Structures are given as C-alpha cells and as structure tokens.
Structure 1
Amino acid sequence: MLQQYKHILVAIDGSYEAELAFRKAVEVALRNNGQLHLIHVIDTRAFQNISSFDSAMVEQVTETAKKTMDEYIVTANDLGLTDVDYSIEYGAPKSLIAREVPEKKDIDLIMIGATGLNAVERLLIGSVTEYVTRTAVCDVLVVRTDLDNKHALNKKKSSIGQDI
C-alpha cells in the first residue's frame, strides 16, 4: 500500500535546514494532494530572563514571524500549492512540534530540518529535531539534502525566495 500523507507539518525557525524541509514538504504535499501546515514557535523561555520584560518585545518578534510566514505562503503558492496555512505558537518548541500541534491539526507527517542549532546550542538545550524524532505522534522525515538530494548542510544559507 502506498502511504499518502495528507496533513504535513513543517517547523520554520529561520534556518537553512528549515527552508530545505519547507521546499521538500511543498513537493510532498503537491504529489499527495495534501495540506501543508507551517509552524513557527516563539520560545517564551527566552524572555523569562529579561528583567524588564515588555510585551512590546513579544509583539515585535511575533510581527517579524508573521512577515516571514507570509513570505513562505507566497512561495508555496508560487510553487503551485494552495492548501497551505501557518500558525505562530508560544511555548516550548519540542512539545509543540512533536505532540501538541500534530494532535490538534491531525498531522500525519512532520518534515523537519536536520538541525537549526549550532553544536554549542545543541549541547546546552538539546536538538528539537532529535526530540521530535523520538517522541512525535506521527511519522517524521528529517531533511538533510537539497531538492537534488545532494548533502546540503554545509552549503551557504539562503533566504526565502532563492533557489536552493
């Protein structure tokens, strides 16, 4: 039996690896006549150590995330995918990506970049990708290659809209 994924989740964190996952997810959604749901998680723990916590700071981060996600929607539409949406979530990225959003949105495939962190960040806070692959409530595809299936983790980062 051929598995057809109809509800695909992609975590967008601004990294090149996330962009690769997005591009491949668009292709999978198109092939399967599926829906693509993009998620950006604003890690609220990052704001806990700021002594003069200001809600304006969260609003600014949210506005930047909205602009980025709108650009991803336009790119998906330009590539022929119209059934695409996004959400901006607040909290711990690991549990939101692995469990909470997939359960809420009936996700059957999570596509995620191999890593969006450098080695020091992975050591200190752990890899979201590693956590998602261990605990997700659905299938997970870790994207390590570009659209030509060439190893892409050492390439220069590109911005949305450029060929990768």
Structure 2
Amino acid sequence: MSSQYKHIQVSVDGSKEADLAFSKSVAVAKRNNASLEILHVIDTRSFQNVSSFDSAMVEQVSEDAKKKMEDYYERAKSAGLEDVRYHIEFGSPKTIIAHDFPKKHKIDLIVIGATGLNAVERLLIGSVTEYVTRTADCDILVCRTKETGIAGI
C-alpha cells in the first residue's frame, strides 16, 4: 500500500456486524495514525408511517443513539485513538453514508459491516452496504470476519 488512510468513517447501527466494523476501524485508524469519524444515521423514513408520530419518539431514538455513540467513542479512546469523533445524522442512511458525510469530512476510507439491522429493507430495496460499495467515491472496507488481536475494543 503506497498511501495511508487519514480520515476514516465507520458506520454503525447497533448490529453485531457494525460492532465488528467498529473494532476493525479502530485497528486501521491506529495503524494509519488516522482520524476516526463514528457515524450513526437515524432513518427518518421509519417515522413517516407512524400514525401517532410525536417529538417524544424522535427524542427517545436520538437519546438511545447518543448513548450508543458515547460508548463507541469511549471504546475508541480507551484503545488509544486520539483523533476520534462521533456523529448522529438524520435522513437516508444510504445517501449520508456513501456521499454526504464522506464529502463533508474528506473521508478516504469507509468501514462498514456486511449486513445491518434491517433485513426487510435489504430484501425490498437492497442493503445499505451494497449501495455504499457500489456508489461511494472512496475506498470501502466491508467487514465479514472477526479480526484477531482487537480484544477490549
């Protein structure tokens, strides 16, 4: 590899695959002395079909996401990463993960799990991972297997 990654994005959704992607992203960021941007996207389309939609629901989802992201942040810091931030975005996960966020943050590597939480969406309209790997402008690391030697992350 002739160049190092400097700005790494890991996309997490609470699934086991996302947790694996997070662990691998920490290892890659450490090897490359890179910044790590931990990204969670709240899919606003899921609120459109709720008849009793209210702001309390959005606040609860946001608060749950914030707690998860703070945990990821602390795990990255404990693993020795200095330059790490987390972000919670609202909108279409596919577009934000593949295009909007990487462009805004000058991402040169996206780390993502092979599958995520939403099996129904995967069957009906294709997976987020498939879309990201097909359309993103930077390198993609799709995590399928557990990497050894990352205990405690």
Instruction: Output the TM-score relative to the length of structure 1.
Output: 0.87
How far 1:118 moved relative to its partner? 6.0
* 2:103 aligned partner: 103
Deviations 1:26-74 (A, max 9, x none): 0111111100001100000000011121011101100110011000011
Distance 2:96 2:34 in 1: 21
CA contact (8 A) 2:13 2:117 kept: no
How far 1:121 moved relative to its partner? 3.7
Tell me, yes or no, if structure 1 residue 50 matches structure 2 residue 50: yes
Name stretches of at least 5 consecutive residues in structure 2 with no aligned partner: none
* 2:143 aligned partner: 143
Q: Percent identity, aligned pairs only?
A: 66
Residue identity in the other structure for 2:14: G
Name stretches of at least 5 consecutive residues in structure 1 with no aligned partner: 150-161
How far 1:95 moved relative to its partner? 0.3
**What are the within-5 Å matches in structure 2 for residues 51-90 of structure 1?**
51-90=51-90
Aligned residues: 152
SS state of the match for residue 65, structure 1?
helix
Distance 2:119 2:67 in 1: 28
CA contact (8 A) 2:79 2:152 kept: no
Deviations 1:71-101 (A, max 9, x none): 0011011111121101100000000000000
How far 1:125 moved relative to its partner? 3.3
Distance 2:125 2:59 in 1: 24
**RMSD, matched Cα:** 1.7
CA contact (8 A) 1:117 1:127 kept: no
Deviations 1:95-129 (A, max 9, x none): 00000000000000000000014654411232000
Residue identity in the other structure for 2:87: S
Distance 1:94 1:148 in 2: 29
Distance 1:65 1:117 in 2: 14
Instruction: Output the TM-score relative to the length of structure 2.
Output: 0.93
How far 1:137 moved relative to its partner? 1.7
SS state of the match for residue 3, structure 2?
coil
Deviations 1:120-161 (A, max 9, x none): 441123200000000002111101111129xxxxxxxxxxxx
CA contact (8 A) 1:7 1:107 kept: yes
